[in-house]
Amino acid sequence: MRVIVNLESDRLAKAAGWRAKAIVLNEKKEALLTEALKAVTLSQGSLYDFISLQGILRNEFVLYVNGKQVKGGSGLNIPVKDNTQVHIYER
């Protein structure tokens, strides 16, 4: 399965070295969004660690999964399936 991650923030894109990338999570039909975000390596750790604080999306970021905005403390723990589109913006 793969999740397509789109980094709409210049700061995130610079830390990653790319704007859009397919993140492959082998042998899974479904995963949690947190797993996909942790699989993305940035120059300063994982994407998950960069955009969240204690599992909650930091206020300076806005995240959409398949066009729906992710909100709330448990928002990063939602299930994602093959070809899920994730867009991350910075306020």
Cβ contact 33:77 at 8 Å: yes
Q: Write out pLDDT tens, residues 51-60.
A: 999 889 999 9
CATH of the domain at 70: 3.10.20.30
**Using one digit for the tens of pLDDT, what is the confidence trace for 5-20?**
999 999 999 999 999 9
pTM of the model: 0.92
85: β partners: 4
| CA angle, 33 then 83 then 46, to 5° | 35
User: pLDDT per residue over 43-84, tens digit each?
Assistant: 889 999 999 998 899 999 999 999 999 986 778 999 999 999
Range of the domain at 74: 2-90
How many structural domains is the chain composed of? Answer: 1
- Strand partners for 32: 79
Compute the distance between CA of residue 27 and CA of residue 48 in angstroms, rounded to an integer.
Answer: 21
The 10 Å Cβ neighbour count of residue 46 is 15
